[in-house]
Amino acid sequence: MTYKRNRASTSDAVPAAQAGRYRGRFAPSPTGPLHFGSLVAAVGSYLDARANGGEWLVRIEDIDAPRTVPGAADGILRTLEGFGFEWDGEVVWQSRRLDLYHAALVRLQLAGLAYPCACSRSEIAASASRPSVDGGLLYPGTCRAGLKEGVAARAWRLRVPDREFIFHDCIQGQARQNLEKDVGDFVLLRADGQYAYQLAVVVDDADQGINAVVRGADLLDSTARQIWLQQCLGASTPTYAHLPVAVNAAGEKLSKQTRAPAIDPVDGVDLLRRVMRFLGQAEYPERNAGSLREFWEWAIATWDVAGVPSTRAVSLAETRCSQSSVEREQRR
């Protein structure tokens, strides 16, 4: 299915980025319909791009084939259109860019930065001294020196340095992480033959000339890995701004797994107003409640990234931001 391209865009991503023009993106994974947390990320990235006179691209991150739900991507794009989002250029699909990821992996292999790994998840769990910073398994470097004779590779990993990566996040402030101590050498190509998210997102951002990333704070702990990959591939590092993620009353991030209800464009301005409240922005005047166009004009003009809460999560129980969608879902 082809979706309308609502705005004129530059035909070449790289010159636009090199010229210094803001170039951001929204990159949902089609594992289900958009929910309130997804809308927060879409609105925050969209407003930051438009308020800075920049471009806003949409990329469907369907690289993880086993988790991709048929029809979800089309539903996501229809929902974005229904809420009045206007993106630049054509939608990019990760599943159609496998050659780019393969080329990047080969570069890292030839440079001696990527190496084969034969470890199973259970073997890593048995030898890991502690969890990684994002709750996964801290890889102990078992295969770093080479595979044992007669053992076949299952995956490919990237060597990481024993040094601290420090970067400034426009919302969360200064962040720091030692990749060797906090994460370990991480996977680029999985045992099931799927390219890992970390590799795909870095390759895509570089190829599309993305120089500003606004996304959920659940990805903050991935940023140091992506900066290291950018350095390994000779790519520029964009600016980062990590928005607080929406969590339910139990403190769980809204997701398909936590049964987050789908958003519906019929909620229109009312739901967008709640997103602005969640993001610490000015209150939208009631007199303009019915017009999406007027809402976006007002929201772009009043957007203030400094007003976004500098916390990793905000509870919907506190903000009452998704009440109408929740009630609609319960009535079905």
Q: Please report how many Cα atoms fall inside a 13 Å half-sphere around the Cα of residue 31, on the Cβ side.
A: 18
User: How many angstroms separate the CA atoms of 24 and 46, rounded?
Assistant: 8
Q: Give me the residue spans of the domains in the chain.
A: 20-96+244-331, 99-164+178-197
In a 10 Å sphere around its CB, with 0-12 CB exposed, 13-18 middle and 19+ buried, how is residue 230 labelled?
middle
Q: Please report how many Cα atoms fall inside a 13 Å half-sphere around the Cα of residue 281, on the Cβ side.
A: 25
The pLDDT value given to residue 204: 98
Domain covering 99-164+178-197 in this structure, CATH number = 3.40.50.620
Take residue 296 and report the two structure tokens written for it: 């976006």
The pLDDT value given to residue 130: 75
Question: What residues form DSSP beta bridges with 239?
Answer: 212
The pLDDT value given to residue 319: 61
pLDDT along the chain (332 residues), means of 10: 41 43 97 93 98 98 93 96 97 97 98 96 81 82 91 96 96 96 96 96 98 97 97 98 87 67 87 95 78 94 97 77 39 36
pTM over 0.75: yes
User: How many angstroms separate the CA atoms of 109 and 105, rounded?
Assistant: 6
Q: Which long-range contacts link 144-147 to residues 24+ away (Cβ below 8 Å)? A: 144/115, 144/185, 146/115, 147/116, 147/118
143, 115 in Cβ contact below 8 A?
yes
The pLDDT value given to residue 250: 63
> Which distant-in-sequence residues (6+ apart) come within 8 Å of 297 by Cβ?
none
> Which distant-in-sequence residues (6+ apart) come within 8 Å of 181 by Cβ?
162
Distances (CA, A) of 119 to 36, 190, 195, 229, 272: 38, 11, 17, 22, 46
Question: What residues form DSSP beta bridges with 168?
Answer: 174
The pLDDT value given to residue 110: 98
User: How many angstroms separate the CA atoms of 91 and 59, rounded?
Assistant: 6
> Which distant-in-sequence residues (6+ apart) come within 8 Å of 217 by Cβ?
171, 172, 242, 243, 244, 245, 311, 312, 313
With respect to CATH, is domain 20-96+244-331 assigned 3.30.70.141? no
> Which distant-in-sequence residues (6+ apart) come within 8 Å of 133 by Cβ?
177, 182, 183, 221
The pLDDT value given to residue 136: 80
What do you get for the CA distance between the two ends of the chain, in Å? 28
The pLDDT value given to residue 216: 97
The pLDDT value given to residue 256: 64
The pLDDT value given to residue 324: 40
User: How many angstroms separate the CA atoms of 13 and 205, rounded?
Assistant: 10
The pLDDT value given to residue 322: 40
